[in-house]
């Protein structure tokens, strides 16, 4: 049984549709046939769908709560129509498994930010599909749950697609994050940027396996993948594995990874200028993580900053 639900915080703008896909697929699917056929979305059964009609522009950030519950996965669909523009902030809570498909139509612009704050366990799978001259910012911030497994795939489906993927995590105690990321360049002239940053305290662990895949006809692709972990405990562990799979000969692809203990030089620099030790460490952590979020909407930045502060407050409460 699936008891999960997705609900907006406040009233949705009149132009948006949040509905039961099973009851409405028959008359909605033909409107998006060109995209659903290519992504095989029409073969899937979704629980809920958020539809942004073509040409719709929403200036404010739309905030949603996705509460996971039940034994069966929750399956959501987001469709942003041609030339539409919207920013979404999704808070993922509860316990369970979520599947999400995101379609960004031609010349559309979508920023979708997930703040993962499940209680004990979460499995999150996402596939995104970005079409001609469209722009997608896809961000995930991990804070809650003892164990989080994330399987994320961004597909650049048509020429001119631009995808920016951001992951950050602040984990403590014995939390574990296992993430797989695929940036799939299927066509020429696509651009992707992927950044993963983790701060690990106590006995926390992070395993990241990222891949840029350039298909044979995806000439002139421009892709970057980087992953960085900062360990604030001798017991914390990270494994960062970026990779490239290139089947075209005229592309620009770069990847990098670092995993290092907390920099004592930065700490002593701030401490020498009168900043208390704990505050100095907090400032360094926030600076390390927030460098990935500066281009996100103000609402998304505020939500992520609040969770960073909550985790840090918990850490301070554990100090003798």
pLDDT higher than 60, residue 262 = yes
pLDDT higher than 70, residue 191 = yes
Q: Do 301 and 152 lie in a common domain?
A: no
Domain boundary (262, 288, 305) is at 262
Q: Do 20 and 126 lie in a common domain?
A: yes
Q: Do 209 and 316 lie in a common domain?
A: no
Q: Do 279 and 256 lie in a common domain?
A: no
Q: Do 170 and 314 lie in a common domain?
A: no
Q: Do 56 and 204 lie in a common domain?
A: yes
User: Of the ranges 89-103, 115-129, 177-191, 300-314, which one carries the lowest mean pLDDT score?
Assistant: 300-314
Tokens at residue 47, please? 């629980």
Tokens at residue 39, please? 């992504």
Q: Is 304 helix (H, G, I), strand (E, B) or coil?
A: helix
| CA distances in angstroms from 280 to 15, 209, 307, listed in the order given | 46, 31, 18
Q: Do 270 and 194 lie in a common domain?
A: no
pTM: 0.92
- The tally of domains found in the chain comes to 2
Q: Do 182 and 172 lie in a common domain?
A: yes
Q: Do 211 and 315 lie in a common domain?
A: no
Domain boundary (226, 246, 262) is at 262
- Whole-angstrom distance, CA of residue 65 vs CA of residue 8: 6
- Whole-angstrom distance, CA of residue 164 vs CA of residue 14: 28
Q: Phi, psi at residue 315, to the nearest 5°? A: -60, -45
Q: What is the separation, in whole angstroms, between the first and last Cα of the chain?
A: 44
Determine the structural domain holding residue 268 and report its residue range.
263-320
Is the torsion defined by CA of 239, 212, 152, 144 positive or negative?
positive
Rounded to the nearest integer, the mean pLDDT of the chain is 88
Domain boundary (239, 262, 285) is at 262
Q: Do 156 and 107 lie in a common domain?
A: yes
What are the pLDDT digits (tens) for 106-140? Answer: 999 999 999 999 989 999 999 999 999 999 999 99
> Helices marked H in the chain — which ranges?
21-28, 33-39, 264-271, 277-290, 298-318
Q: Do 191 and 227 lie in a common domain?
A: yes
- Whole-angstrom distance, CA of residue 44 vs CA of residue 48: 12
Tokens at residue 297, please? 């909407």
């Amino acid at each position: 049984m699936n008891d999960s639900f997705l609900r907006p915080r406040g009233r949705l703008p009149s132009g948006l549709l949040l509905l039961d896909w099973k009851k409405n697929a028959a008359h909605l699917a033909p409107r998006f046939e060109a995209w659903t056929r290519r992504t095989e979305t029409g073969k899937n059964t979704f629980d809920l769908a958020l539809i942004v009609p073509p040409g719709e522009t929403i200036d404010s950030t739309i905030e949603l709560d996705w509460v996971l519950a039940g034994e069966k996965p929750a399956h959501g669909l987001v469709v942003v129509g041609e030339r539409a523009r919207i920013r979404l902030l999704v808070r993922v809570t509860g316990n369970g498994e979520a599947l999400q498909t995101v379609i960004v139509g031609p010349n559309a612009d979508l920023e979708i930010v997930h703040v993962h704050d499940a209680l004990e366990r979460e499995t999150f799978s996402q596939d995104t599909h970005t079409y001609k001259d469209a722009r997608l910012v896809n961000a995930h911030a991990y804070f809650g749950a003892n164990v989080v497994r994330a399987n994320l795939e961004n597909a650049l489906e048509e020429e001119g697609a631009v995808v920016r993927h951001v992951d950050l995590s602040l984990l403590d105690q014995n939390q574990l994050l296992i993430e797989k990321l695929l940036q799939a360049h299927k066509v020429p002239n696509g651009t992707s940027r992927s950044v993963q940053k983790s701060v690990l305290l106590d006995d926390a662990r992070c395993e990241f396996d990222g891949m840029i895949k350039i298909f044979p006809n995806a000439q002139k692709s421009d892709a970057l993948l980087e992953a960085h972990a900062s360990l604030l405990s001798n017991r914390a562990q990270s494994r960062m594995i970026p990779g490239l799979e290139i089947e075209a000969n005229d592309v620009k692809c770069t990847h990098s990874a670092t995993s290092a203990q907390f920099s004592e030089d930065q700490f002593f620099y701030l401490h020498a200028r009168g900043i208390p030790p704990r505050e100095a460490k907090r400032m360094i952590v926030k600076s390390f993580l927030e460098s990935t979020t500066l281009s996100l909407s103000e609402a998304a930045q505020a939500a992520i900053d609040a969770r960073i502060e909550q985790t840090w407050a918990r850490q301070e409460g554990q100090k003798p």
